[in-house]
Structure 1
Amino acid sequence: MKPPVRRYRSRPVEYIPPPPAVPGFSRGWIRSRNICFIMADWEAIGDALLVACPYAQYVRRLTPPERDLEKKADPPPTRHICDLVPPVNRFPVDITAQFYGGPQAGHDPEDPARMIAMAPSFSIRDAGRIYPADHEPEQASSGRIDFWLESNNADHIAFMRQIFSLFGRFSSNRHQMMVSVPDYEGYGHKVAGDLWLGHEAIRWALEDPKRVIDYRTYDWRDSEPLLSEQGEPLRGCGVRPIAEKWAGRWPHLAGSVPAPSGK
């Protein structure tokens, strides 16, 4: 098995033992993380998950528009999460990771629709769609990881923390700012925000000062959206990594955007 793709300094990815399955979740618990991972991020994360959790499988269920417009069926389960991330996302993506930790875990072989045991899982929704370059502004969408587990099970909680830690090796929530669109004025420096950007998403954004992440058709500083007479938004906003803070990692990108104004 080839080692995971790692473009940045990181300790080697280690095997994570599978979590135990339980008859059912007495106190189901969801922990979430907002993310933006573009395709290159998924490639690196998928390789790492293949090493850390070779027992995991990933499934994707198509949205009704995909089935109706493109006449496709749900893709088969796969061991590499990147196999389910389309190169160009025309529709929201919903991928579920399943961790079946033992011989009694999973579905009843005589009735596949019935679970005989449950193990932690996580789902990923609509993260990292890049809108084409002729769209103003060019943008990458944000999404979310939802982790499902038994809150009374210490092994489940430990497993979740290991998975989130693994994702953290390929992403960061530090040194972000809001930028208004279309003037691209920076404001609202966040040392640690609630949006985790993949390292490749950070690189993608810094390569062009007019690329934003998690674009909104209003500006957070406005009390209400500013609209034209035709009802079109006049100003929006999005998230950008602060180039100066990432200069040590990508020196050639430093200074590609203005520093936050402090407003």
Structure 2
Amino acid sequence: MSQPVWIRSKEVCFLEADWWDFGMALQEMFPQARYYREPDPINRPEDRAQTPEPPVITLHDHLLDTRPRPMGTVMMVFDPDWQPSFRKISTEIGREPEDWRWGLTGEPPLPYVAFGLGGHVFEQPVPHPYKGAIHFYTEPHNGEQAAMMGRFFRLFGKFATNRKGLVRVRVPELTVTAPVGKGQPDWCGHHALEWARQNPSRVLFYERAGFGIRPTGEVLPLAKAAAGKKSRRAGG
């Protein structure tokens, strides 16, 4: 039986540079954590190969060292002793036993994080990155794990914003409909905002219903924002 979990999630619009910077900061905050790419049997033929022995998953020190697909999933594990294991699972219900592939046995020990890595840029109907997600799993009523999750998301907040200087636009007209209000679930990475700023036709968090998000002039360019943070630290 699956163990009960609490999940805290963020929808994110990150480019590869955002994931890289956030991953470097995670290395510093959680040096014991390791990362692995979730098997993707639909898009990776090697992940559905019927090999005599189960595959070996390498655990890495940075989430992008896993070399995921642009829209793949990467897991972050905090237990330094945990190793993934595999079992044979059927690929088709009701088919012969030979229709199988290797699949992971269960989930890693709590707490752990699942990163849905968006960032691949689509050009139609307007240029927009595929959105991703972050899901942090903890044991219910576990104060230590809750504190770890809090540290994780406070760090995340240094690499993204969900309201300051953002507006919702109609696509493809790109007319402003409303400012993005406080407490919204959509978090835009700083590099993604810079990318959108460089071309007025680019949007973040594109929705097929015909909406997206863009930065306004209130969002400082990335270099100026970084300089401002340094000057505030220097001034105490």
The TM-score with structure 1 as length reference comes to: 0.66
- Indicate conservation of the 8 Å contact 1:123/1:146, yes or no: yes
Secondary structure of the structure 2 residue equivalent to 1:145? strand
- State the partner residue of 1:19: none
Residue 186 of structure 2 corresponds to residue 240 of structure 1 = no
- State the partner residue of 1:83: 65
Secondary structure of the structure 2 residue equivalent to 1:128? coil
1:65-123 deviation per Cα after TM superposition (whole angstroms, max 9, x unaligned): 3223998988622111122355x72xx3111100016xxx63599x9x778x9331010
Distance in 2 between residues matched to 1:214 and 1:119, nearest whole Å: 30
- State the partner residue of 2:40: 63
The code of the aligned residue for 1:240 comes to: R
- State the partner residue of 1:106: 82
- Indicate conservation of the 8 Å contact 2:8/2:135, yes or no: yes
Q: What aligned pairs does 1:171-182 form with structure 2 within 5 A after superposition?
A: 171-175=160-164, 176-182=166-172
For the aligned residue pairs, the C-alpha RMSD in angstroms reads: 3.2
- Indicate conservation of the 8 Å contact 2:57/2:84, yes or no: no
Residue of 127, 136, 141 corresponding to 2:125: 136
Secondary structure of the structure 2 residue equivalent to 1:246? coil
Distance in 1 between residues matched to 2:211 and 2:169, nearest whole Å: 5
- Indicate conservation of the 8 Å contact 1:39/1:85, yes or no: no
The code of the aligned residue for 2:128 comes to: Q
1:151, distance to aligned residue in structure 2 (A): 1.8
Count of aligned pairs between the two proteins: 199
Distance in 1 between residues matched to 2:84 and 2:188, nearest whole Å: 38
Residue of 83, 108, 118 corresponding to 2:109: 118
Q: Which runs of 5+ in 2 are unaligned?
A: 50-54, 88-103, 225-236
1:191, distance to aligned residue in structure 2 (A): 3.6
Among all aligned residue pairs of Structure 1 and Structure 2, give the percentage whose two residues are the same amino acid: 28
- Indicate conservation of the 8 Å contact 1:25/1:118, yes or no: no
Secondary structure of the structure 1 residue equivalent to 2:23? helix
- State the partner residue of 1:195: 186
Secondary structure of the structure 1 residue equivalent to 2:125? coil
Change (3 A) 1:137 1:57: same
- Indicate conservation of the 8 Å contact 1:25/1:149, yes or no: no
The code of the aligned residue for 2:202 comes to: R
- Indicate conservation of the 8 Å contact 1:177/1:240, yes or no: yes
The TM-score with structure 2 as length reference comes to: 0.73
- Indicate conservation of the 8 Å contact 2:190/2:222, yes or no: no
Distance in 1 between residues matched to 2:62 and 2:26, nearest whole Å: 8
1:217, distance to aligned residue in structure 2 (A): 2.0
Change (3 A) 1:32 1:120: same
- Indicate conservation of the 8 Å contact 2:40/2:47, yes or no: no
Change (3 A) 1:142 1:247: same
1:194, distance to aligned residue in structure 2 (A): 1.5
Q: What aligned pairs does 1:1-263 form with structure 2 within 5 A after superposition?
A: 27-68=4-45, 76-84=58-66, 86=68, 89=70, 92-100=71-79, 106=82, 118-132=109-123, 135-175=124-164, 176-192=166-182, 193-218=184-209, 236-242=210-216, 244-247=217-220
1:234-263 deviation per Cα after TM superposition (whole angstroms, max 9, x unaligned): xx2211122x21147667xxxxxxxxxxxx
Distance in 2 between residues matched to 1:198 and 1:55, nearest whole Å: 25
Q: Which runs of 5+ in 1 are unaligned?
A: 1-23, 219-235, 252-263
Bigger RCO (CA 8 Å, 6+ sep)? 2
The code of the aligned residue for 2:215 comes to: P
The code of the aligned residue for 2:79 comes to: Y
Secondary structure of the structure 1 residue equivalent to 2:152? helix
Distance in 2 between residues matched to 1:136 and 1:47, nearest whole Å: 33
